Amino acid sequence: MSALRWGRGAAGLGRVLQSCGRRGLPTEEGTLGVGLGPRRSSSASPHEKDLRKDWGHVELLEVLEARVRQLQAESVSEVTVNKVDVARLPERGGGGGNFQPPRKAQMGAKGAAPQHFGRWAAKLDKEKQTMQKRKQRLEVKLQVRAQRLAQKLPKPLQMEPRLVSGQLADSLRCGAQGTPLEEQLAQALQEAPRKLSLKEEQALADREVEAQLTGQQQTLLAFFECCLLTDHLHLAHHVLVAHHGNPRKQQLLTLAMYNTIMLGWARQGSFKELVYVFIMVKDAGFTPDLLSYAAALQCMGRLDQDARTIQRCLKQMARDRLQLQDLFTVVPLSEEERAALLRAIVKARPTFRPRLRPPPQVNTSTLLREVYAKDGPVSYPKLHLPLKTLQGFFQQQLHMELTASVCVESVEKAVLTKETMHARKTLTNLRVQWEAALHRALQETKASLARQAHEGRPTLYPFLCLLSEHEFVRLLTQTLQALPAQGKSFISVAQELGRRTFSRHMVQKQQLNNQVQALERRYTQYLRLLASDTQVAEPHLPRQYWEALGLPEAPQEKPWPVPVLLQLGRQLAELLVQAVQMPRSPAAPPGSCGLIPVLYHVYSFRSFRQIGILKPHPAFVQLLATAAEPMLTFETVDVPMLCPPRPWTSPHSGAFLLSPTKLMRAVEGTTQHQQLLERCPPAELHGALDTLTQLGNCAWRVNGHVLDLVLELFRDKGCSRLGVPPPPSEAPQPPEGRLPRDTPPARKAELRREMARCLKVAREMHSLRMDALYRLSLAQHLRHRIFWLPHNMDFRGRTYPCPPHFNHLGSDLARALLEFAEGRPLGPHGLDWLKIHLVNLTGLKKHASLRARLAFANEVMEDILDSADQPMAGRKWWMEADEPWQALACCVEIARAVRTPDPATYVSHLPVHQDGSCNGLQHYAALGRDSVGAASVNLMPSDLPQDVYSGVAAQVEAFRRQDAEQGLRVAQALEGFVSRKVVKQTVMTVVYGVTRYGGRLQIERRLRELSDFPQVGGPVASGNLISPPTTGSARGSAPLARLISHTGSAVEWVTPLGIPVIQPYHQEAKFTIRGGIQSITCSKAKDSSQKPNIKKQKNGFPPNFIHSLDSSHMMLTALHCYRKGLTFVSVHDCFWTHAADIAIMNQVCREQFVRLHSQPILQDLSAFLVKRFCSRAGRLRRGAGLPARPCSRPPPSAPSAGNFDLEQVKRSTYFFS
Amino acid sequence: MWVPVAGLPPRLKLSALAGAGRFCIWESGASTRKHFPAKNHRGFSDSYPQLLPYPDFNESPSSVSKCRLEPKRYVTSRRLAETVAQILRGKLERPRHLLLECNPGPGILTQALLRTGAKVVALESDRTFIPHLESLRKNLPGSLEVIHCDFFKIDPRGGGLVRPPTMVSHTLFQNLGIEARPWSAGIPLKVIGIFPIKNERRTLWKFLYNLYACTSIYRYGRIELNMFIGEKEYQKLMANKNSNLYDVLSVLWQIACEIKVLHVESLKPIEQKLYFIQMRPRRGLFTENLTPVNYDVFFHMLKHCFGKRSARLIDHLHSLTPVDAKDILMQIQKSEKVKVTHMHPQDFKRLFETIECSKDYAHKWLYDDSMGDTEHPEK
């Protein structure tokens, strides 16, 4: 000890370790214990003793006792061992975990000591009567024994900090000897922080960029936060103290961690512990920040401390240059916490009033002014359903989300044979066993992790307490069920388990916090806006109405960092591998033969990499196949919603009722988008939030007629051409039969290749089949219901429905299965639009005018009616269409309409599409006001639709002819091969900045597809075919992006609607999480803390920018259509609405395109980039840590514009058609 | 010692390993060891290729340098060439095997081989040497054939357009009039060459996959390789159990072939040895339970085992096969404590075969094709 002290002094730290006031660490226990004992007991105040009683072993005991009960059922020998442990434990628990001689003596005197110490106690009694001396000796002996015991058993949780600073330690010691805690806190507050200048910046950086925390720190912080959630605050405090007391480990601690624990104590109103942490914060050299003070004040508010203490705290806060008002605006607080905090402040400053929440801000973007204008005609659509029905729907959805998963009947009908029934029975029996085994394994793991946590290590223990054991077991059995036959990579299993745990925990948390009831009340109110039979005072957008109904939702818990998520997932996956077993032969009765594992952790070798795979035993796979269980299980978030989604009100609340959903979808673990959105002023996002809400509010239903036909095909032999995947029975069969013994190896090799081919085909077929099975089963499940598809967006603002399997974004088949739940009468022109839509779907009359398309539809009316009446038996006209299933659905709709006495009154549910023709080029042409380009992509009015691809092909052909005449061999060879198809892909991608090389490859591929093309000339010829880019913008912008990424940050911009965009392309960095069943290596390429990937940033910029424009156009159209009462959904540049409303939608779509491009888009972009990347202020705002280099030169100004008159777009028929 | 040759474009230099004088290395770019005095060159002039530089060197340097991405070794010493030719001639066997010489380069060895009366097919990947080899062919009509072909890149995976010097073995062998021989028959032809310096390991793997699968050149029977190989890879190839170098590659090659060292040549200035080894596929490689149909399972088993080489074999068996591991170990008469590195190559084969023919199990392996390393490490 003294050597240690000396060593530290010599190191010049100037801090003397104080030996008292510290609980012994394992290594010091033996030497320190005896001397310290008496002093400790005198220094502990009675209050502290009481507290200590509650801590310590109680939790651990519960776990151990549970384990004993478990074991009693199994083995006797184990129980006896455990009994001894437990018999000893309660005593220690009861004794408060302190082994102090006086106490022991008292216990002995009372004779109440349990059997174990009985011998000693009896002896002591006897001796006491006779000899004082011997008693004292005995006391010493007892103590030694107690200490020996203490070494064996987990130590009591440590509450008092071990401090580095001598001064603080002194004050703490004094405090322990009787100074009131308030004084201690005051002293701690005034203690000048030593490392202020250095640490302050660091703390700031830590808050700003959490991604900069190392993996260890992330784990530690997550541990603390999770302890708070699961009521293991003492444990968290213990681990904090243990880390704080160890100079090496102390470096891991950040202010956020201390704040977390402090907040925990504040919520419990434990002032003493809060002061301990506060002292530790000072001791570690951090300056307390708003969060720290908020916690301290909250605690004081709860305990009703006297004004003097509070005043002192406020004074110190002012000295730290923190604003009192910020406590209420910056710090996220629940309602109840806010009240406690306010109580404390008002006591010291009776006049203080927290600043009221600012009134709901209004978006100021010029583009959106009309959308949010209070005057003018507004007719927001209502749903066609009454309030009662909608409330019922809400209850169904709520129930579904609370149970976390949905069972859906599979559309695959198994033949019920005897084997099937037997297999099902076996499985049921096995599952009962597995659940028991998993319960057992989970408890064991928890017990062992709890022990480790008591030793001061941050383990996964609190995470395993988040959900009930039952819930974990259910999660694991579901995972087992869903594991594919060929296995699944360990890392993805782990990730999924981690993610699901988080999502279930979030749902559960809301349930416990009574947020569900609050939501129910608010949602019911909200439905009055949407229901058909209720009225609201003045028109509101759904988001506005929702906001008016109450306070904004508190920001939700942040998703766990990826390393934590993976560690938890790995732990759970390990449980699954270890615990789940089945008899060697599943047919045998249980217990008759040995058990083998169901899951195997195996490695696959790809080149030089090893990939861990969880693979089910083939027998288990077979058992599942035989049982052909009729139920599929989906996570709630994978199924469409049964009631209108919660409106998006902020980047963290919207869509599903309880399950957390991201506003901006991104790869797991990416935080930069969310951070950017959270930083953005709320009103800026209104455009996006309202669009997503509105797209999600569109009610859908299943087109039963199409579903029946598809199911018929699906259950029969399928049909690849129509997109119905055939069943496995249709897969090519590998050659059967055993080979004769003397088959030469070469023949066997051939056989092997044949088998491999069959297997590959079968596997591809299987995955297609499963995809279709999920989709059709969900469709069948939702057949007679109305459902909603909540939406979110990608990082460029393009919108997507959240449920993955069944939505309107999928293939032709998927789209044909859906129709609007609400119908509209066709009106005067609706039928014509239906017919034109049908012709569009067939793809037959791409170059014809609308009139000609309509005429064609009337011409083939007989075929249409035939298709509608006898889809499978008739002339099958619909099957030849580009989009056969949608065409069929349209045929049926037309047939029904024309057979109505007055087609104008026919109520149609079918969505009619309007497609942007080469939408990317349209935006390019408009940006550059390029007349030639505008004409070729239908921005100019014209009698016939223009086809840019044909145009380019014609031009290339003209050049070719010139070259051929001059005798160029390649040009001659190409005669007759320059077609629309050859150039299409290249033209499409040229706008997105495809390189010369990429374009050459594309053309080479197309040329090779032409069957009669002389193959030799291909590579040479393709080089000569590349067409010059139509506009210079794409080329111009790429170097700009490169310039930005060279400065060390990702390219960012803001869409005209105000959505902040950041390109998520970063250099890949790997991190490895060691330990457990296997180390997990994964790449963290997706965060702003990483250096940008310059090439991807550069190449990605032109297409992403154009996509951010087309998404803006879509959003503007959507918002204006909503104001006009239309039903509107979109698939990027394809807009859908009812046949009757096509004319209105077309008008809005054109107007908004003109309005969008009337904005100085490129100038704005340029200005933003200059401000963001070329000014010092802009760079600093990004937070520390990035090696920012100033731009060497300002970005080039916007390219000069051509002379195209935008207004012409409004009159162009084929702009969207 | 790397001597730049005058008259060559600066990017392309022929450097002869004059110190040893038995091999020379072609390399593009500047030579690296300039401290060797130039007089060495003269001292060993007898081993220096006389025929260089070629007249067409200056005419098409660019086309040469394109294929010159990796350095290649050539036999340039007449003495060494004689030795090798004598070894290959061996006892007077009748009929003499056809010899496939890979990358003969300056043709020193080719000439030596021809002098022993052998029939040689020269597969040269470098266009530069072809005119010279052609001239050799004209001198000795009937016994030499020259083909522009890179033997080590034969039958590329993934298909696509195959352009010379890459070739498909089927075309090559058909053109040469070589017919497939059954595995149990004799050796159809011998291949002589030097493993590519940079890619020895990859090439070894490629041959292994082809050998066990009976594809590519091994479709034509038990083709014998006579190759110069670097010391490092040689030691790995021949490593015995308990050695640190003992690895999947050693096991697989030792099971597949009889490997004999025919000659050892030391490269003086760089303190390395080149081993001239004979790799003759074993007649009994394929058995009833180890065939080209299931060889990939065998490969996977070995890779798995050597993934954690210090572990006990039984632990690996638990995640390789559902078959009772103890039972299997008993059958191959190994203790439960046996470690991976304690297993002889043939023990592994026996282990595999034992599991393959275990009767009571419907499923013998946890491995399936989707996990397989269907493409060998070259890709």
Q: Distance from A1016 to chain B by nearest Cα, in Å?
A: 11
List, in sequence order, every residue forming a beta bridge with A700; answer none if it has no partner: A787, A820
Question: Is B334 inside any structural domain?
Answer: yes
Write out pLDDT tens, residues A1046-1063.
667 788 889 998 899 988
Write out pLDDT tens, residues A29-54.
333 333 333 333 333 344 444 444 44
> Do the chains contact at B322 and A602, CB–CB below 8 Å?
no
Write out pLDDT tens, residues A957-1001.
777 788 778 777 677 777 777 777 777 777 776 666 565 666 666
Domain A824-908 carries which CATH code?
1.10.287.280
**Whether B362 and B213 share a structural domain:** no
Question: Is B288 inside any structural domain?
Answer: no
Mean of pLDDT values over A775-799: 94
Amino acid letter at A105? A
Comparing CB atoms, the residue among B293, B303, B379 nearest residue A605 is B303
- What pLDDT score was predicted for residue A768? 92
Which residues, 6+ apart, have CB-to-CB distance to A625 below 8 Å?
none
CA distance B308 to B314: 12
Comparing CB atoms, the residue among B214, B304, B368 nearest residue A746 is B214
Mean of pLDDT values over A484-495: 88
Write out pLDDT tens, residues A292-311.
888 888 888 888 878 888 88
Most confidently modeled range among A620-624, A1177-1181, B26-30: A620-624
Q: Are A43 and A176 in contact (CB under 8 A)?
A: yes
Range of the domain at B156: 73-281
Question: Is B351 inside any structural domain?
Answer: yes
**Whether B232 and B258 share a structural domain:** yes
**To the nearest whole number, what is the mean pLDDT of chain A?**
78
Mean of pLDDT values over A13-32: 33
- What pLDDT score was predicted for residue A147? 62
- What pLDDT score was predicted for residue A100? 38
Mean of pLDDT values over B5-30: 40
Write out pLDDT tens, residues B61-72.
333 333 445 677
**Whether B198 and B328 share a structural domain:** no
**Helix A469-482 to helix A490-512 angle, to the nearest 10 degrees?**
140
Q: How confident is the model at residue A609 (pLDDT cuts 50, 70, 90)?
A: confident
Q: How confident is the model at residue B153 (pLDDT cuts 50, 70, 90)?
A: confident
Let me know how many helices (H) and strands (E) chain B has, helices first.
13, 10
Q: How confident is the model at residue A564 (pLDDT cuts 50, 70, 90)?
A: confident
More confident residue, A67 or A266: A266
Question: Is B180 inside any structural domain?
Answer: yes
Report whether pLDDT(A692) > 80.
yes
Write out pLDDT tens, residues A500-511.
999 999 888 888
Report whether pLDDT(B40) > 80.
no
**Whether B109 and B235 share a structural domain:** yes
Domain boundary among the residues B246, B281, B316 is at B281
Which of A126, A915, A981, A1205 is catalytic? The answer is A915
**Whether B161 and B124 share a structural domain:** yes
Question: Is B12 inside any structural domain?
Answer: no
- What pLDDT score was predicted for residue A1003? 67
Q: What is the percentage of chain A residues whose pLDDT exceeds 90?
A: 27
Task: Using the structure block, give the residue that is written with the tokens 């001064």.
Answer: A167
Question: Is B33 inside any structural domain?
Answer: no
Question: Is B193 inside any structural domain?
Answer: yes
More confident residue, A209 or B190: B190
According to the annotation, is B150 in a ligand binding site?
yes
End-to-end CA distance of chain B: 34
Write out pLDDT tens, residues A858-910.
999 999 999 999 999 989 999 999 999 999 999 999 999 999 999 999 999 99
**Whether B154 and B300 share a structural domain:** no
Mean of pLDDT values over B260-267: 87
Q: Distance from A733 to chain B by nearest Cα, in Å?
A: 16
**Whether B319 and B242 share a structural domain:** no
Q: What is the percentage of chain B residues whose pLDDT exceeds 90?
A: 22
Question: Is B209 inside any structural domain?
Answer: yes
Write out pLDDT tens, residues A706-763.
999 999 999 988 888 898 999 888 888 877 666 777 777 778 888 888 888 888 888 8
Report whether pLDDT(A20) > 70.
no
More confident residue, B183 or A607: B183
**Residues of chain B positioned with their CB less than 8 A from the CB of A759:** 369
- What pLDDT score was predicted for residue A5? 36
Q: Name which of A577, A598, A748, A767 to mutate to probe chain B: the one with the most chain B Cβ atoms within 10 A of its Cβ.
A: A748
> Do the chains contact at B322 and A617, CB–CB below 8 Å?
yes
Q: How confident is the model at residue A117 (pLDDT cuts 50, 70, 90)?
A: low
- What pLDDT score was predicted for residue A997? 62
CA distance A655 to A643: 10
Number of CB atoms found within 10 A of residue A1102's CB: 24
Report whether pLDDT(A314) > 80.
yes
More confident residue, A399 or B128: A399
Report whether pLDDT(A122) > 50.
yes
**Whether B319 and B268 share a structural domain:** no
According to the annotation, is B162 in a ligand binding site?
no
Least confident of A950-954, A1131-1135, B232-236, B237-241: A950-954
Which residue is closest to B377 within chain A, CA to CA?
A607
**Whether B103 and B151 share a structural domain:** yes
According to the annotation, is B101 in a ligand binding site?
no
- What single DSSP character describes residue A1213? T
Write out pLDDT tens, residues A152-210.
445 566 667 666 666 666 665 555 454 556 666 666 655 544 444 444 444 444 444 44
> Do the chains contact at A605 and B366, CB–CB below 8 Å?
no
**Whether B99 and B221 share a structural domain:** yes
**Whether B319 and B274 share a structural domain:** no
Least confident of A9-18, A576-585, A732-741, A970-979: A9-18
Number of structural domains in chain B? 2
**Whether B244 and B354 share a structural domain:** no
Q: What angle do CA A605, A610, A615 make, to 5 degrees?
A: 75
Q: Residue ranges of the domains in chain A? A: 166-192+207-348, 387-702, 824-908
Report whether pLDDT(A770) > 70.
yes
CA atoms within 13 A on the CB side of B235: 7
**Residues of chain A positioned with their CB less than 8 A from the CB of B371:** 486-487, 602, 604, 613, 615
Q: Which long-range contacts (CB under 8 A, 24 or more apart) does A511-520 make?
A: A511/A402, A511/A658, A516/A398, A516/A402, A516/A658, A518/A550, A519/A646, A519/A657, A519/A658, A520/A394, A520/A398
Mean of pLDDT values over B355-362: 82
- What pLDDT score was predicted for residue A929? 85
Amino acid letter at A675? Q
> Do the chains contact at B183 and A746, CB–CB below 8 Å?
yes
Q: How confident is the model at residue A82 (pLDDT cuts 50, 70, 90)?
A: very low
**Residues of chain B positioned with their CB less than 8 A from the CB of A487:** 370-371
CATH of the domain at B362: 1.10.8.100
For B240, the token pair is: 């015995």
Q: Where are the beta strands (DSSP E) in A1032-1164?
A: 1052-1054, 1060-1062, 1070-1073, 1080-1083, 1129-1131, 1134-1138
Mean of pLDDT values over A412-439: 90
Q: Please state the pTM of the whole predicted model.
A: 0.78
Report whether pLDDT(B158) > 80.
no
Which residue is closest to B285 within chain A, CA to CA?
A745
Q: Are A818 and A810 in contact (CB under 8 A)?
A: no
Domain boundary among the residues B258, B281, B304 is at B281
Least confident of A1124-1133, B93-102, B148-157: B93-102
Domain boundary among the residues B281, B316, B350 is at B281
More confident residue, A346 or B43: A346
Mean of pLDDT values over A394-398: 94
Least confident of A86-100, A272-286, A1143-1157: A86-100
**Residues of chain A positioned with their CB less than 8 A from the CB of B180:** 746
Mean of pLDDT values over B162-178: 85
Indicate if the alpha-carbon torsion angle B53, B57, B62, B67 is positive or negative: negative
**Residue A206 among the catalytic residues:** no
Q: Which long-range contacts (CB under 8 A, 24 or more apart) does A327-332 make?
A: A327/A290, A327/A293, A327/A294, A327/A297, A327/A354, A328/A354, A328/A355, A329/A355, A330/A290, A331/A290, A331/A291, A331/A294, A332/A554, A332/A555
